[in-house]
Chains A and B, each alone.
Chain A
Amino acid sequence: MSDETESNRPAATAGPTDETEQTVNTSTGRVGPAFDHRTTVIARTVVRVVVPVVVVTALALLFQGHNRPGGGFIGAVLTATAAVLVYVIFGLEYLQSHLLGIDSSPNEPHAPTGWYRWLFAGGLALAAGSGMFPLLAGLPFLTQGVAFVHGLPIYGELEVASALAFDLGVYGTVVGGLLTVVAEVGEE
């Protein structure tokens, strides 16, 4: 079973090599498919550490984007990078079976692909909708405004920019678009 020199392809039977066993134990307990990728312990450990950092950085870039370096696009690219790292190191199934807790069999289509499509369309709708919203007030397309909320417990003062809605739309579009491509190509 655990023949490391040969291909451990029949993945559904969860070949109990040292590394995969670890993963099965820390997961939801379900015996997921083993990794048919020949990734090293180092790569997997590093990805475990790096992915949360990448996601947090991406969100920070997204939320400060309207008046400091960053923005929806670059935040989305980073987020997609985090997902791609998981895909590359742990395989296509890992994201939905271990991180999202969805049962899957290798024969079914990759479930998140459908969500990515919706995210893409929804993001576009949000971005365009936030641009059209000012038209209701008689202002030109894409006009942005900003409001300051005072007296908040921790923040004190919070800047709420309408550009954030647009940025969120861009974020959804780019994450959805990039991951649709990655997931579709990865499935084949």
Chain B
Amino acid sequence: MVASSVNQPVVVAPLLVALATAILTLLARFDLRVERVVSLAGGVGYTAVTALLFQRVVLGSESVLPYYLSNWPAPYGITLVADALSASMLALAGVVTLPALVFAVVSVRERGQRLSFHPLYHFMLAGVSGAFLTGDIFNLFVWFEVMLMSSYVLVVFYSGPEHTRAALSYVVLNLLGSAVMLVAIGGLYATTGTLNMAAMARRLGEPAAYNVAVAPTLGLAALLLAVFALKAGIVPFHFWVPAAYRAAPAPVTAVLAGVVKKVGIYAIVRLFFTVFVAAEYANGSALDYVGPVLVVTAVASMVYGGLAAVGRDELEQLLALSSVGQVGFIVLPLGIAALAPNLPMPNGVPGETLAAFGVAAALVYSFNHAVAKGLLFLVAGTLTDVIGTTEFDRLGGIARRAPVLAGAFLLGGLSLIGVPPLIGFFGKLLVFRVGVLAGAAGSGTAARLAWLGLAAALVGAVLTIAYVTRAWNAVFWGEPPKTVEAVLEERWSAGRRESTAAAADGGQFGVTSRRTLAVEAVVLAVLAVTLVGFGVGADLVVEAAAEAGEAATDTAGYVDGVYPEDGIDGVPADGGDHSGDGGGH
């Protein structure tokens, strides 16, 4: 078993494909066509290897696949770990990033693509993959930085005043977050004597054996929680979201909202449900402490995001604020599950304990949000390309003129609302079920918080219906204003470009060719079909999420997976005597 399960190249493949593509596109900058081909090939390759890893780990028989970078054994070198949770998140990234890339190739202006778009996009993917894969907490910080550095530039990509302003607050906030994260990681290293997550879980589980003071790690974990909440855009840390999402090019926003945000969620799940859960503090486990916090922030996110989105008169801002609300739906099951992690679940529920079920529900909802919100942002991007604006005042009646666009928006919106048979229905169903089960079986504060979360989720769901309906009415129904009429008749029936579109923004958006629109429409259609397809085949998603939930909450399995031969970590905290030779020969 040892020989077959360690160091399989498929584990590191997503990381390497993204990295190699980024470098090759950098080298291919002399010719935009070559660069585009390389970039697209890399995007396809990325989706393929993430699917392969998903197939191997989640659907196949393998459970935890460790990969020892540089051939250093587990606690000494940097270990990559692909378990069902990591593989599911990577698969999610693979599903969203390829359509967004294809969209970007036709949508982002040529000068921008020539400048640096493709390397940045793939470096961002490399950062995302690394963050999902790494089993080392400092390495997690490094991949966060790789991801954020690229996203900084992508947010400021259009370099106008409002983009610069949005990027400035995005950069400053994330730099602050990174500094806090580094401090917390340094503190964890000082307290536990290791950076390897599996080793940390083991040491926190047996503090006496490893001479670890457990109490400080709770405060450090709280710092980390704040940082991850910032990256995920959960309510007290949501203020950078609308401006940044609005400033970035539409395909980038699709990836930021769909994938990059989920890295924060993933980090919360991984560190709290896998690592810190092992520690026993004065009044219970780390989950007992973070549970109420997560529930309250989720409630605030759902209500605030929903209310703020309803009041917007601009599609992109509405979608960005809706992202804040939807993240609440992802965090809520995590928080409720943290309140009573060991509550056994009845038959027919994906997950044996409430913790596993909560993570599974969060993952299904993440998947729904990633695809649906990615699709909606791309619809907004198409509207910007065609008409030059996403303000409700200047839009209307598009359903009749652009059925593909309208259909894509409708499906994305319905999935966000949670209408069967779309995947969003199953996401909402599981989230509500987590709340009901916890509320019914729990007692005291935990049950009250679960019911509170459930009530807020209901409010949030109603608000989702309200803002999606409002956006639909404003953009796709009603009488088209004159600008839309002129542009869309030319675009979609005759197919000839007319300069009327340029009226919006100084000609910048008026250069959309028929081919561009055709490609954009195909991308939207593919994503819409994905939503329906995964809704019809929801079993696959739910089963995968259930497996990921089990993997995320199975600390012992994770530790054993990272240390296939037991006893490597037997030396005390400062024992630097490594047993491997580092591959020297």
In the bound complex, residues from chain B placing their C-beta under 8 Å from that of A124 are: 23, 26
* Residues 103 to 150 of chain A near chain B (Cβ within 8 Å): 117, 120-122, 124-125, 128, 132, 134-135, 139-146
| A145 pairs with B584, CB closer than 8 A | yes
| B584 pairs with A121, CB closer than 8 A | no
| A140 pairs with B23, CB closer than 8 A | no
| A144 pairs with B583, CB closer than 8 A | yes
For the complex, is B157 an interface residue (Cβ under 8 Å from A)?
no
Q: How far is the CB of B130 from chain A (nearest CB, A)?
A: 12
Nearest to B7 among chain A residues (CB) is A140
Interface residues as binary, B1-35 with A (CB distance below 8 Å gives 1, 0 otherwise): 00000010100100010011001101101000000
Q: How far is the CB of B138 from chain A (nearest CB, A)?
A: 16
Nearest to A146 among chain B residues (CB) is B584
For the complex, is B175 an interface residue (Cβ under 8 Å from A)?
no
In the bound complex, residues from chain B placing their C-beta under 8 Å from that of A132 are: 16, 20
In the bound complex, residues from chain B placing their C-beta under 8 Å from that of A121 are: 23, 26-27, 29
| A128 pairs with B583, CB closer than 8 A | no
A183–B19 Cα gap in the complex (Å)? 26
Nearest to B123 among chain A residues (CB) is A124
| B69 pairs with A140, CB closer than 8 A | yes
For the complex, is B530 an interface residue (Cβ under 8 Å from A)?
no
In the bound complex, residues from chain B placing their C-beta under 8 Å from that of A140 are: 7, 12, 67-71, 583
In the bound complex, residues from chain A placing their C-beta under 8 Å from that of B481 are: none
A184–B68 Cα gap in the complex (Å)? 40
Q: How far is the CB of A181 from chain B (nearest CB, A)?
A: 13
- Asked whether A134 and B27 contact (CB < 8 A) given A141-B12, A142-B69, the answer is no
In the bound complex, residues from chain B placing their C-beta under 8 Å from that of A117 are: 29
For the complex, is B482 an interface residue (Cβ under 8 Å from A)?
no
In the bound complex, residues from chain A placing their C-beta under 8 Å from that of B585 are: 145-146
In the bound complex, residues from chain B placing their C-beta under 8 Å from that of A143 are: 70-71, 582-583
Nearest to B585 among chain A residues (CB) is A145
Report which B residues bind A (CB closer than 8 A).
Answer: 7, 9, 12, 16, 19-20, 23-24, 26-27, 29, 67-71, 582-585
Q: List 11 A-B contacts (CB under 8 A).
A: A117-B29, A121-B26, A121-B27, A128-B16, A139-B71, A140-B70, A141-B67, A142-B69, A144-B582, A144-B584, A146-B585
In the bound complex, residues from chain B placing their C-beta under 8 Å from that of A144 are: 70, 582-584
Q: How far is the CB of A100 from chain B (nearest CB, A)?
A: 22
A141–B68 Cα gap in the complex (Å)? 8
Q: How far is the CB of A128 from chain B (nearest CB, A)?
A: 6
| B583 pairs with A134, CB closer than 8 A | yes
In the bound complex, residues from chain A placing their C-beta under 8 Å from that of B12 are: 140-141
Q: How far is the CB of B94 from chain A (nearest CB, A)?
A: 20
Q: How far is the CB of A101 from chain B (nearest CB, A)?
A: 25
Q: How far is the CB of A49 from chain B (nearest CB, A)?
A: 37
Q: How far is the CB of B561 from chain A (nearest CB, A)?
A: 16
In the bound complex, residues from chain B placing their C-beta under 8 Å from that of A142 are: 69-70
| B9 pairs with A139, CB closer than 8 A | no
Q: How far is the CB of B22 from chain A (nearest CB, A)?
A: 8
A35–B419 Cα gap in the complex (Å)? 71
In the bound complex, residues from chain B placing their C-beta under 8 Å from that of A135 are: 9
Nearest to A141 among chain B residues (CB) is B12
Q: How far is the CB of B173 from chain A (nearest CB, A)?
A: 23
A120–B70 Cα gap in the complex (Å)? 24
Q: List 5 extra interface pairs beyond A141-B70, A142-B69, A145-B585, CB under 8 A.
A: A124-B26, A125-B27, A128-B20, A142-B70, A144-B584
Nearest to A125 among chain B residues (CB) is B23
A117–B67 Cα gap in the complex (Å)? 33
A122–B582 Cα gap in the complex (Å)? 27
Interface residues as binary, A138-175 with B (CB distance below 8 Å gives 1, 0 otherwise): 01111111100000000000000000000000000000
A76–B539 Cα gap in the complex (Å)? 53
Nearest to A135 among chain B residues (CB) is B9
In the bound complex, residues from chain A placing their C-beta under 8 Å from that of B26 are: 120-121, 124-125
A146–B582 Cα gap in the complex (Å)? 10
In the bound complex, residues from chain B placing their C-beta under 8 Å from that of A125 are: 23-24, 26-27
Interface centre among A132, A142, A144 (most CB of B within 10 A): A142
In the bound complex, residues from chain A placing their C-beta under 8 Å from that of B69 are: 140-142
- Asked whether A139 and B27 contact (CB < 8 A) given A128-B19, A144-B70, the answer is no
A125–B23 Cα gap in the complex (Å)? 6
Nearest to B69 among chain A residues (CB) is A142
From B16, B24, B29, B584, A141 is in contact (CB under 8 Å) with B16
The 5 closest A-B pairs by CB, nearest first: A143-B583, A121-B26, A142-B70, A143-B71, A124-B23
Q: How far is the CB of B75 from chain A (nearest CB, A)?
A: 16
A134–B9 Cα gap in the complex (Å)? 11
A139–B9 Cα gap in the complex (Å)? 9
Q: How far is the CB of A122 from chain B (nearest CB, A)?
A: 8
In the bound complex, residues from chain B placing their C-beta under 8 Å from that of A139 are: 7, 71, 583
In the bound complex, residues from chain B placing their C-beta under 8 Å from that of A120 are: 26
Nearest to A120 among chain B residues (CB) is B26
A141–B23 Cα gap in the complex (Å)? 16
Interface residues as binary, A53-84 with B (CB distance below 8 Å gives 1, 0 otherwise): 00000000000000000000000000000000
A86–B36 Cα gap in the complex (Å)? 38
In the bound complex, residues from chain A placing their C-beta under 8 Å from that of B583 are: 134, 139-140, 143-145
In the bound complex, residues from chain A placing their C-beta under 8 Å from that of B582 are: 143-144
A145–B24 Cα gap in the complex (Å)? 26
A139–B581 Cα gap in the complex (Å)? 13
A124–B21 Cα gap in the complex (Å)? 12
Nearest to A161 among chain B residues (CB) is B584
A137–B585 Cα gap in the complex (Å)? 13
From A128, A134, A145, A146, B23 is in contact (CB under 8 Å) with A128
Interface centre among A120, A122, A128, A135 (most CB of B within 10 A): A128
A132–B26 Cα gap in the complex (Å)? 18
Q: How far is the CB of A147 from chain B (nearest CB, A)?
A: 8
Q: How far is the CB of B576 from chain A (nearest CB, A)?
A: 15
A135–B67 Cα gap in the complex (Å)? 12
